[in-house]
Structure 1
């Protein structure tokens, strides 16, 4: 077993070590972190540039595309898209805004003063006033009419592109209807104008708009987030702060977290992090975690706390392979043969 730290990945030296005998590997536990509480007055200050996240289902949601790109690109937090693609309907791995943040991400956004969690329940239950509703409906009607105009213009452009074929087809139809060829007088402008006047937009074909945000100004109250004060969150935050990496949940790969060297849309995860609540791990448990990580072509990291309550990381490489096992087996057979010959 090759033991070393994850300093290359996290860009900061990390002390790591295994202590104990053959029966157990002694790789401790820490006081809880306090839940983050935001001052209500702070969000009302004009100079406040924190991102506002909407409280839903006990966590925070982002409905603004620009805010989400800031969170993802500048702060390396991905969240999960849960919105429906209005063009294709529900398609797995093809969701749109809003983005839901898990409890670790939400707590981190608040603790690092990146975002503020707000509740809009009272405003939405009260709804918009009559004037605002009329304005929303008027703008919706304008957008539907704009769809019809855009669709008709697209058809006109297709006609202009194939104007010669269109005019030839109209000429043939007139001749078939009994009009003498010498009396047929067609111009490009005339054909285009006739098509434009005959076009009608069916409102049933209009695309239904699904707004990412509320369409009118409304009030919101700053609320606190009751995150779980766990060792898992401490390790999640510690890894995030150590280097230019992305950290996501790692349940799909049998671990607590996944570490990506860049945006998960571009890079595959390089490490699987296993959080140990107790610094002692049994050999069989360690082997199972390592083999599971190796099977998905990643590096295993054991994260724990030492006796001084400091977070430590142990990176484990699996060195076994069939070739090495075959060589060891052949060597063992040769040694046994030599021993038998010497006894004889």
Structure 2
């Protein structure tokens, strides 16, 4: 089961594996809020942690896909022992990089040994040809002279060449190694989490958004926040990395009126970005409580 870490009233995902599982297997996108190591000054792409919408969190808990946990140890000031442990972890990561670099270099040398041997042979042949020309042999062609003088040079065998090339490998300087910035605590499995509940919606509009999100999710859609187009949700037929949104969903209570200008703005935005505007509300005829009310939808079109 995936563990969602509670932080400042929101649920976060710090593990890259959990992020991939949520997106690929459960159609939960969330919002990446961290920076990418090494490119911290750019703002186009974000990294872990992943912050989840309240609707996403409630859905995952309801479907028993995840649990919400709190780690008290993560909120405490790091001790001296923990700092030493982290420095040891950094050294281990550096040694892993050195080992990986050496293995990659060995692989390339082994793959290119024939090219290296041929290059050395041609170099020796070139040296012998120059010697032949200097001595000005009278009864031999230059090719024969090259051949005879090439015998003066002993061409190393493959194993010797591989050994020679491997001896040239220089370890990665420690100050040039890639910085290892884990998004998840490396020792999380040694900490004891406390499972905590997530609060239920306190207002009816929150119930509507929660139920709308869950209903659309069960229909097989990907759903993200829709504020950038003036709605509550954007609904996609597939992964947002591959598809454009089809619908802009705005949630309104049955007794709530929509100002004319706001209604016009919603419809015109939907038309300009080629997305259908969907009004989600509670069915006023079922007479059920907030937890049992069903959601109905109405499409809004801009007609010129």
TM-score class, shorter-chain normalisation, is 0.7 to 0.9
Structure 1 gaps, min length 5: 1-49, 321-344
Q: Kindly indicate whether residue 154 of structure 2 is the aligned counterpart of residue 185 of structure 1.
A: yes
TM-score by length of 1: 0.66
What SS class does the counterpart of residue 214 from structure 2 fall into?
Answer: helix
| Structure-2 separation of matches of 1:84 and 1:161 | 44
Most deviating of 122-131 and 232-241: 122-131
The residue that corresponds to 2:182 in the other structure is: 211
| Structure-2 separation of matches of 1:82 and 1:186 | 59
What SS class does the counterpart of residue 281 from structure 1 fall into?
Answer: coil
The residue that corresponds to 2:226 in the other structure is: 250
Return the offset for 1:265: 1.7
Q: CA-atom RMSD, angstroms?
A: 3.4
How many residues align structurally?
271
Q: Kindly indicate whether residue 172 of structure 2 is the aligned counterpart of residue 237 of structure 1.
A: no
| Structure-1 separation of matches of 2:130 and 2:165 | 20
Higher relative CO (CA 8 A, sep ≥ 6), structure 1 or 2? 1
TM-score by length of 2: 0.73
**Does the 8 Å CA contact 1:104/1:233 hold for their aligned counterparts?**
no
The structure-2 alpha-carbon separation of the partners of 1:52 and 1:79, relative to structure 1 and needing over 3 Å to count, comes to: same
Return the offset for 1:125: 2.5
| Structure-1 separation of matches of 2:176 and 2:237 | 45
**Does the 8 Å CA contact 2:113/2:161 hold for their aligned counterparts?**
no
The residue that corresponds to 1:12 in the other structure is: none
The structure-2 alpha-carbon separation of the partners of 1:229 and 1:141, relative to structure 1 and needing over 3 Å to count, comes to: same
Structure 2 gaps, min length 5: 132-148, 288-292
| Structure-1 separation of matches of 2:99 and 2:214 | 45
- After superposition, the C-alpha distances for 1:225-255 in whole angstroms (9 at most, x for unaligned) are 3465341453343343341111111011121
Most deviating of 70-79 and 85-94: 85-94
The residue that corresponds to 1:10 in the other structure is: none
Return the offset for 1:185: 1.7
Most deviating of 245-254 and 139-148: 139-148
